[in-house]
Structure 1
Amino acid sequence: MRPLTEEETRLFFEKLAKYIGENIKVLIDRPDGPFCFRLHKERVYYVSEEIMKKAGNISRDNLVCLGTCLGKFTKTKKFRLHITALDYMAPYAQAKMWLKPNAEQQFLYGHNVMKSGLGRISENTVKYSGVVVYSMNDIPLGFGTAAKSTTECRHTDPGTIVCFHQADIGEYIRSEDTLT
C-alpha cells in the first residue's frame, strides 16, 4: 500500500471532482480524524490515517484490502469509480437525478436512464457532468453521466437517453468477486 503518484492523484481527483466538485476537501479533513487515499493492487482505498498506520505492520502480500475501495486504475491508466464509492459521493453530489419507480429496476440492471423514467433532475445540471442517481425516496441507486442538461431534458422525447449508466447498487450482486 502506497500513496498515489502525482499523475494518479490528478486522474483520481479529476474523476471524483466530476461528481462532487470542491467537496473532495470534506472527504480528507473530517471531524473524526484525517483520512487519506492509498493505492494497493491498482485500487484506490479511502482509509483513516490511524488505521493506515496500524496496517503498516502487515506485509503487502498478506494485505487484501484496507478501508473502502473507491475505484481502480485500468490497464490503460484511466480511473474507474466503483459502486463502493457511492456512500461517500451521494451526500456531496452536485448534480442529482431521481428515477420513477418503474425505471429503478432497469437502472439497477445496468441500463441507461430514459427521459420517460426520469422523475426529476437538479437545476443547472450540465451535459456530460457526473450525476448521482436516486430513487424517488432519496435512496442513492448509483451514478452516471448526464447525457442531456436540465433544460434539454425538459424539451426532449420520452425515449431519449438522459443519463449514461456508470455504476449501480446491483453490482454488489453482479460483480461481487471483482469489487475488492
Structure 2
Amino acid sequence: MRPLTNDETKTFFEKLSKYIGENLKLLLDRPDGLYCFRLHRDRIYYVSEKIMKCAATVPRSDIISLGICFGKFTKTGKFRLHITALDYLAPYAPHKIWVKPSAEQSFLYGNHVMKSGLSRITENTSQYEGVIVYSMSDVPLGFGVAAKSTSECRHADPMNLVCFHQADVGEYIRNEEQLI
C-alpha cells in the first residue's frame, strides 16, 4: 500500500470527477472519519485512515486487499472504474439516468441504453458526461456515459442510444469463470 503519485492522482481524480463532479471532497472528509485512496498492485483502494494505520504493521506482500477497490490502472496508464465503487459514488452523482423495467435486464447484460428504455434523465446532462444508471426503484445498476444531452434525448428516435454502457452490477455473474 502506498500513496498515489501526482500523475496517478490526476488520472484517478479526473475519472472520478467525471461521475461525481465537485462532490469528490465529500468522499474524503466524511462524518465518520477521514478516508484516503491507496494504491496496491495497480488497484486503488478507498480506506479509512484508522484501518490504513493498522495495516501498516503488515508486510506489503501479505496484503491481498484493503478497503473498497475503486478500480485499477491498465498497462497503458489509464484508469478503469470498477463496479465495487458504485455504492460510494451513487449518492454524490449529479447526473443520473433511470431506465424502465423492460430495459434493466438488457443493461445488466452489458448493453447500451436506448431511448425506448429511458425513463428519466437529470436536467442539464451534457453529451459524454458520466452518469449513474438507476432502476425505477432508485437502485443503482451501473455506470455509463451519456450519448446525448438532455435536450437531445427529448427529440431522439426510440432506437437511438442515449447512454453508453461502462460497468454494471451484472458483471459479477458474467465474469464468474475468470474469478475462479
Q: What is the distance in 1 between the residues matched to 2:88 and 2:125?
A: 20
Q: What is the distance in 1 between the residues matched to 2:97 and 2:143?
A: 9
SS in 2 for 1:61: helix
* Equivalent position of 2:91 in the other structure: 91
Describe the shift of the 1:90–1:178 C-alpha distance in structure 2 as closer, same or farther (beyond 3 A). Answer: farther
Q: What is the distance in 2 between the residues matched to 1:68 and 1:126?
A: 29
* Equivalent position of 2:158 in the other structure: 158
> Is 1:46 the counterpart of 2:39 in the alignment?
no
Moved over 3 A (4+): 176-179
* Equivalent position of 1:5 in the other structure: 5
Q: What is the distance in 1 between the residues matched to 2:177 and 2:78?
A: 21
Q: What is the distance in 2 between the residues matched to 1:16 and 1:146?
A: 15
* Equivalent position of 1:72 in the other structure: 72
Query: RMSD of aligned C-alpha atoms?
Result: 1.1
Unaligned runs of 5+ in 2: none
* Equivalent position of 1:130 in the other structure: 130
* Equivalent position of 1:118 in the other structure: 118
Following TM superposition, by how much is the alpha carbon of 1:178 offset from its aligned partner in structure 2, in angstroms? 6.7
Q: What is the distance in 2 between the residues matched to 1:60 and 1:127?
A: 42
* Equivalent position of 1:56 in the other structure: 56
Q: What is the distance in 1 between the residues matched to 2:23 and 2:73?
A: 22
* Aligned residue type for 1:118: L
Unaligned runs of 5+ in 1: none
Q: What is the distance in 1 between the residues matched to 2:111 and 2:27?
A: 30
Q: What is the distance in 2 between the residues matched to 1:178 and 1:66?
A: 21
Q: What is the distance in 1 between the residues matched to 2:79 and 2:12?
A: 6
Q: What is the distance in 1 between the residues matched to 2:164 and 2:31?
A: 35
SS in 2 for 1:159: coil
Following TM superposition, by how much is the alpha carbon of 1:175 offset from its aligned partner in structure 2, in angstroms? 2.6
State how many pairs are aligned: 179
SS in 2 for 1:57: coil
Q: What is the distance in 1 between the residues matched to 2:13 and 2:176?
A: 25
Q: What is the distance in 1 between the residues matched to 2:93 and 2:27?
A: 12
TM-score (structure 1 length as normaliser): 0.97
Q: What is the distance in 2 between the residues matched to 1:175 and 1:54?
A: 32
SS in 1 for 2:61: coil
SS in 1 for 2:62: coil
Q: What is the distance in 2 between the residues matched to 1:177 and 1:91?
A: 31
Following TM superposition, by how much is the alpha carbon of 1:58 offset from its aligned partner in structure 2, in angstroms? 1.1
Following TM superposition, by how much is the alpha carbon of 1:176 offset from its aligned partner in structure 2, in angstroms? 4.9
- Please list the CA deviations of residues 4-62 of structure 1 after superposition, one character each: whole Å capped at 9, or x if unmatched: 00000000000000010111100001111100000000000000000000001111111
Describe the shift of the 1:93–1:151 C-alpha distance in structure 2 as closer, same or farther (beyond 3 A). Answer: same
* Equivalent position of 2:108 in the other structure: 108
